[in-house]
Amino acid sequence: MNEDWEKRVAAAWETFDDYPEENAADFRAVIDALVAELPEDSPLGPFERACAWDSTGHSDKAAPLYREALAKGLSGYKGRRAKIQLSSSLRNIGQAEEGVKLLTPELDGPSDELDDAVRATLALCLSSLGRDREGLSLVLGALAPHLPRYQRSMANYARALVAPEG
């Protein structure tokens, strides 16, 4: 869309915490009104609507909208956000395996500020599948670079959690 629309969407999201849980539909109406300004084929519409449903506790309604946004070509930073958020929603509705399949390729994708969110969400999906060691490995690997000391040790421990025994 345009910069003005993006600013208005950002401003709407800044007010999210002003809506108590019982008024979640009012917040979603604000997002729906902004989405109504978009062309029908814009991937931003389903993405923003998915975010609103997701943020108000409805992963089941968010997941199909994230899929629609990605199918309509949402890419780049928002596309990566959609994959992270879709994976989280899938985990919440009992489809963690699909979340793992969606996020695993992101580990080898271009690096950005969402890398740790990819790893954290993937770790949650793995844990939901009983693959806690793999999840812990991802979380330790994501945490290691942020530590003031012990980065090398934590990175090595992370790798050792998933290394073949032998």
Distance CA 80, CA 74 (A): 9
For residue 80, count CB atoms less than 10 angstroms from its CB and return exposed for 0-12, middle for 13-18, buried for 19 or more: buried
Range 120-144 burial, b when 16+ CB lie within 10 A, else e: bbbbbbbbbeebeebbbbbbbbbbb
Distance CA 64, CA 56 (A): 15
Does pTM top 0.75 for this prediction?
yes
Which one of 1.25.40.10, 3.30.1360.180, 3.50.50.60, 3.20.20.120 gives the CATH number of domain 3-130?
Answer: 1.25.40.10
Q: What pLDDT is stored for residue 164 in this prediction?
A: 86
Per-residue model confidence as pLDDT tens digits over 52-96: 999 999 999 999 999 999 999 999 999 999 999 999 999 999 999
Sign of CA dihedral 24, 25, 30, 34: positive
Q: What pLDDT is stored for residue 166 in this prediction?
A: 64
137 pLDDT band, cuts 50/70/90, is very high
Checking if the pLDDT of 3 tops 90, the result is: yes
Checking if the pLDDT of 121 tops 70, the result is: yes
Q: What residues does each domain of the chain span?
A: 3-130
